[in-house]
């Protein structure tokens, strides 16, 4: 474990535990708790209530295709156009600032931004116009995720943020996206891409359904309860596999294979078991480990330099894993926008800041 700890507070054994334990869960974006006075009517939508903090983003520059990108970027391509790079990301009022920065980063580092098509998963209406006004020439479609789909499947988790219905939208991409879409990159909202996403898009998944960087040095046992490991009928699911931890915040998904096998149902059945038997403590991640662990196409670690959220409460900051970086991911409980606003950023938070389009002056 080569985490380097930067001390912003008093050293303690507890901090060391946090830093050394390989808890790279896909902690979805964080802790922006908004109070009632943070909400106001959205002028773009007339009447519906949205957090004031989400209202104002600066307009991103227009990103245009390089010459070698072909003709796709010159017109608005239809969603089924075979030349597109499909990216799915959730948009909700709490993590909107993170999602907007993520989209901005993808566009900025793409040679062919006009060939990227964004699929935004949302619970509430209203964010559509905000996206369109922030990114003048982006290709996108908005999908309403029905929280009722997972309402009865979500069990309590160690962190409340992990129980948000939208967190589970990634389970349903194969059903939500048009049947003509055969592959998608799923991205969490607390990350920035600092390389051309088309390189990730071209990943060879071989016979696998999903691709993600795997972390085989992490102790896999601890992602499930003793009760799970003690029940042979459950833990036998891993027989013949050598599962490793992977983070579900960055995945390349073959939707054709997913639909063919019906992986959504498999994930749901593990969530049903969890409701009855408590087989894990985290949110949307463990069902993915159960279904895909040991059968994940390996993607270079540079595509998910995760854990940068560290632990907000203890004020710990994390450093990058050794090696190259194509994507920075603030998984963990701290989020860069919250730390930057509080004037207590971690050193790497300054790498997120250039993608932030939030308009402070508007408040």
219 counts as binding ligand NAG under rule CB under 6 A: yes
The number of beta carbons lying within 10 Å of the beta carbon of residue 165 is 19
Which of 74, 151, 217, 222: binder of ligand NAG (CB under 6 A)? 222
β pairing state of 245-246 and 214-215: antiparallel
71 counts as binding ligand NAG under rule CB under 6 A: no
Cβ closer to ligand NAG: 219 or 295? 219
Q: What is the DSSP letter of 113?
A: G
Instruction: Tell me if residue 50 falls in helix, strand or coil.
Output: strand
Instruction: Tell me if residue 194 falls in helix, strand or coil.
Output: coil
Please report how close the Cβ of residue 214 comes to ligand NAG at its closest, in angstroms.
Answer: 17
The token pair at 38 is 């943070």
Asked if 284 and 168 touch (Cβ cutoff 8 Å), the reply is yes
Taking the C-alpha atoms of residue 128 and residue 132, their distance in angstroms, rounded to an integer, is 6
Cβ closer to ligand NAG: 224 or 303? 224
Which of 35, 37, 221, 342: binder of ligand NAG (CB under 6 A)? 221
Q: What is the DSSP letter of 255?
A: H
Please report how close the Cβ of residue 319 comes to ligand NAG at its closest, in angstroms.
Answer: 23
Please report how close the Cβ of residue 202 comes to ligand NAG at its closest, in angstroms.
Answer: 35
Please report how close the Cβ of residue 281 comes to ligand NAG at its closest, in angstroms.
Answer: 12
The token pair at 186 is 């799923």
Cβ closer to ligand NAG: 117 or 223? 223
Cβ closer to ligand NAG: 113 or 243? 243
Asked if 22 and 218 touch (Cβ cutoff 8 Å), the reply is yes
Handedness of CA 275, 277, 278, 284 (dihedral sign): negative
Site string for ligand NAG, 318-337 (x = CB under 6 A): --------------------
Closest CA to 87 of 320, 283, 327: 327
Cβ closer to ligand NAG: 59 or 222? 222
Residue linked to tokens 């070698």 = 68
Instruction: Tell me if residue 17 falls in helix, strand or coil.
Output: helix
Residue with nearest beta carbon to ligand NAG: 219
Q: How many residues bind ligand NAG (CB under 6 A)?
A: 3
230 counts as binding ligand NAG under rule CB under 6 A: no
Cβ closer to ligand NAG: 64 or 219? 219
Asked if 250 and 188 touch (Cβ cutoff 8 Å), the reply is yes
Cβ closer to ligand NAG: 220 or 358? 220
Using the contact rule CB under 6 A, the part of the chain among 30-38, 125-133, 219-227, 304-312 near ligand NAG is: 219-227
Residues of the shown chain interacting with ligand NAG in the complex, contacts defined by CB under 6 A: 219, 221-222
């Amino acid at each position: 474990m080569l985490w380097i700890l930067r001390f912003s507070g008093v050293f303690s054994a507890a901090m060391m535990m946090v830093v050394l334990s390989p808890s790279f869960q896909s902690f979805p974006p964080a802790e922006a708790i908004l109070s009632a006075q943070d909400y106001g009517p959205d002028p773009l939508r007339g009447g519906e209530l949205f957090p004031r903090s989400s209202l104002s983003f600066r307009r991103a520059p227009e990103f245009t295709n390089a010459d070698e990108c072909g003709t796709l970027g010159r017109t608005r391509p239809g969603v089924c156009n075979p030349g597109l790079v499909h990216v799915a990301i959730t948009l909700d009022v709490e993590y909107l600032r993170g999602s907007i920065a993520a989209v901005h980063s993808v566009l900025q580092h793409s040679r062919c931004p006009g060939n990227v098509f964004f699929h935004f998963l949302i619970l509430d209406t209203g964010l559509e116009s905000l996206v369109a006004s922030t990114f003048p020439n982006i290709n996108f479609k908005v999908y309403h995720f029905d929280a009722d789909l997972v309402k009865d499947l979500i069990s309590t988790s160690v962190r409340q943020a992990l129980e948000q219905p939208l967190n589970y939208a990634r389970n349903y991409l194969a059903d939500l996206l048009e049947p003509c879409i055969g592959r998608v990159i799923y991205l969490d909202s607390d990350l920035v891409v600092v390389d051309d996403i088309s390189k990730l898009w071209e990943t060879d998944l071989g016979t696998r359904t999903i691709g993600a960087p795997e972390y085989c040095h992490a102790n896999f046992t601890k992602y499930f309860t003793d009760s799970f490991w003690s029940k042979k009928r459950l833990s036998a699911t891993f027989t013949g596999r050598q599962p490793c931890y992977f983070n579900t915040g960055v995945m390349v998904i073959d939707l054709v294979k997913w639909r063919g096998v019906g992986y959504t149902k498999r994930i749901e059945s593990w969530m049903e078991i969890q409701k009855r038997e408590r087989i894990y403590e985290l949110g949307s991640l463990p069902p993915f480990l159960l279904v895909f662990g040991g059968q994940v196409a390996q993607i270079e670690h540079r595509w998910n330099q995760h854990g940068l959220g560290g632990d907000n409460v203890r004020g710990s900051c994390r450093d990058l894993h050794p090696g190259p970086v194509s994507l920075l991911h603030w998984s963990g409980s701290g989020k860069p926008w919250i730390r930057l606003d509080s004037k207590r950023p971690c050193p790497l938070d300054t790498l997120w800041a250039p993608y932030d389009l939030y308009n402070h002056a508007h408040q």
